[in-house]
Amino acid sequence: MGCVVAIVGATGAVGVEFSRCMEERNFPVSEVRLLASARSVGKKMPFRGEELAVKELTENSFRGVNVALFSAGSGVSKSFAHHAVKAGAVVVDNSSAFRMDPAVPLVVPEVNPEAIREHKGIIANPNCSTIIALVPLWPIHQVNPITRLIAATYQAASGAGAAAMEELRESTRAHLEDRPFEQKVLPHPYAFNVFSHNSKIDADTGYNEEEMKMLRETQKIFHDPAIRVSATCVRVPVLRAHCEALTFECSRPIGADEVRTLLRHAPGVKLVDDAEKNYFPMPRDASGQGDVLVGRIRQDISDPSGKSIAMFVAGDQLLKGAALNAVQIAEFLVR
C-alpha cells in the first residue's frame, strides 16, 4: 500500500518533474493530488497511464496526505505548508521559505540524509546551485575538509521557471528573425546574452540573494559555519541544466588524481573528464538525467600550497537541483 502525495505547484516546471520522477523511480504512492492556483483547475496531467485533474490549492487540500511536495514559491509555502503539517503531512519544500530556519532540516540526501530524521513536519530543499555544487564537493570534504569555495555559476532559464524557459525560446526566435521582442519575465534580453542573476543585491556586501544562498546553505548543510564561500551567479541562455566553475581549498594538499578517485564512485556524481577529446560537462548532457557531471579537474596553479583544485560541473536544475532531490527525500520518509 503506497502513500498519498500532494504536489503543490503541479503545473509548474518543477511540479511536472515531481510527477515524472515519482513515476520513473516507482515511488510507492496510492494517490497523487495535483494542486495549483484556480487558473489551472481542471487541467489534465499524465501519471502512470492515467490523466489526473488539477485541483485548486486550499487550506483543506491536505486531509489524508502523507507527503506534500511544494514548488510554488515562498509565499505559497509560507501560507500553506503549516496547514499541510497540521493535517498530518510531511512537507518537502522547494522554495527559500524555510531553508535557514534552524528548526527545519536542509537536506541533500547524498550529503546529510541523517538530518531528515530531525524534521518537525517540514524539510527544505536547498537552492539548485547549492545542490549541484555540494553533491561532488561532499566526498572530498569528508576526506580533506574544504575551507574555502569560489564559485561562478552559469544558470539556465529553468531556474526562473517555465515562463522564463518560454521567454528564452521566443526571444531567440525573434532575434534570429530580426524582429523586436519585449521581455516580460526577466529584466534583460535573454537571447544570445549573459547577465548577472536577477535576485536582489545587498547594498552593503554587493552580493545578490542567489550568491548569499550558496554561502549560508553550504555552511548549514556541511555543519560548518567557518567554511568561506564566495559566489558569482549569472544567467546564461540555456534552457535547463546549470553549470558551475568551482575552485576550492582544502585543509591539506590534494591532487587532481586524488579528487578523481574520490568522485569516481561517489553517489550522484558522474565523471566527464576527457582532456584528450576536450570533452567535459555540458548542459546538453546533464539535461534530463539525475547525476551531477564533473570534469576539468585540475590543480589550481595560483595556490602554491597545493591545497586547491579547480573543476567544472553541470547538473539538471529541474531534477537534481529541485524535483529529484525532493523525491529522494520523500523516499527516505516512506521507507
pLDDT digits (tens, 9 = 90+) for 240-252: 999 999 999 999 9
pLDDT of residue 2: 82
115/158 same-domain check: no
Residue pLDDT, tens place only, 176-203: 999 999 999 999 999 999 999 989 999 9
CATH of the domain at 251: 3.30.360.10
Domain count of the chain?
2
Mean pLDDT of 54-75: 97
- Strand arrangement of the beta sheet that strand 55-56 belongs to: 55-56, 29-36, 3-8, 67-70, 90-93, 122-124
Residue pLDDT, tens place only, 131-185: 999 999 999 999 999 999 999 999 999 999 999 999 999 999 999 999 999 999 9
82/144 same-domain check: no
200/265 same-domain check: yes
Mean pLDDT of 303-315: 98
Whether 80 and 95 have beta carbons less than 8 Å apart is answered as no
152/293 same-domain check: yes
Residue pLDDT, tens place only, 229-286: 999 999 999 999 999 999 999 999 999 999 999 999 999 999 999 999 999 999 999 9
175/260 same-domain check: yes
Lowest mean pLDDT among 1-10, 103-112, 288-297, 324-333: 1-10
CATH of the domain at 44: 3.40.50.720
Contacts of 247 by beta carbon, 8 Å cutoff, 6+ apart: 149, 150, 151, 300, 308, 309, 310, 311
Residues designated catalytic:
128, 242
243/188 same-domain check: yes
Mean pLDDT of 210-235: 97
36/171 same-domain check: no
214/117 same-domain check: no
pLDDT of residue 234: 98
278/189 same-domain check: yes
159/286 same-domain check: yes
The whole-chain average pLDDT of the chain stands at 97
- Please give, one letter per residue, the 3-state secondary structure of the chain: CCEEEEEECCCCHHHHHHHHHHHHCCCCEEEEEEEECHHHCCCEEEECCEEEECEECCCCCCCCCCEEEECCCHHHHHHHHHHHHHCCCEEEECCCCCCCCCCCCECCCCCCHHHHHHCCCEEECCCHHHHHHHHHHHHHHHHCCEEEEEEEEEECHHHHCHHHHHHHHHHHHHHHCCCCCCCCCCCCCCCCCCEECCCCECCCCCCEHHHHHHHHHHHHHCCCCCCEEEEEEEECCCCCCEEEEEEEEECCCCCHHHHHHHHHCCCCEEECCECCCCECCCHHHHCCCCCEEEEEEEECCCCCCCCEEEEEEEECCCHHHHHHHHHHHHHHHCC
176/193 same-domain check: yes
Per-residue cell: 287: 539535461
280/135 same-domain check: yes
pLDDT of residue 196: 96
pLDDT beyond 70 at 297? yes
Contacts of 71 by beta carbon, 8 Å cutoff, 6+ apart: 7, 8, 9, 12, 14, 15, 18, 94, 95, 322, 323, 326
pLDDT beyond 90 at 224? yes
Mean pLDDT of 70-91: 97
CA distances from residue 37 to 11, 17, 83, 119, 155 in whole angstroms, order as listed: 9, 18, 16, 27, 27
Whether 104 and 119 have beta carbons less than 8 Å apart is answered as yes
CB-count exposure of residue 44 (10 Å: 0-12, 13-18, 19+): exposed
pLDDT of residue 317: 96
Residue pLDDT, tens place only, 92-124: 999 999 999 999 999 999 999 999 999 999 999
pLDDT beyond 80 at 1? no
pLDDT beyond 90 at 335? no
pLDDT beyond 70 at 324? yes
Residue ranges making up the domain that contains 63: 3-125+322-333
